[in-house]
Amino acid sequence: MDAVKLAATASDTSAPVDGLRAVASLRALVDSLELRQVEQALRAGETWSSIAAALGVTRQAVHKKYGKRLRHIGATERGQ
Total domain count, the chain: 1
Count CB atoms within 10 A of the CB of residue 69: 11
Please write down the long-range contacts of 27-35, taking CB distance under 8 Å and 24 or more positions apart: 29/3, 35/66, 35/69
Cα(24)–Cα(17) distance, rounded to whole angstroms?
Answer: 11
Give the tens place of pLDDT for each residue, 31-51.
Answer: 999 999 999 999 999 999 999
Identify the DSSP state of 62. H
| Domain that residue 45 falls in | 3-77
Cα(67)–Cα(75) distance, rounded to whole angstroms?
Answer: 11
Cα(20)–Cα(72) distance, rounded to whole angstroms?
Answer: 35
Residue 80: per-residue pLDDT: 40
Give the tens place of pLDDT for each residue, 3-41.
Answer: 999 999 999 999 999 999 999 999 999 999 999 999 999
Q: Is the pLDDT of residue 54 over 50?
A: yes
Q: Is the pLDDT of residue 74 over 70?
A: no
Residue 38: per-residue pLDDT: 97
Residue 1: per-residue pLDDT: 78
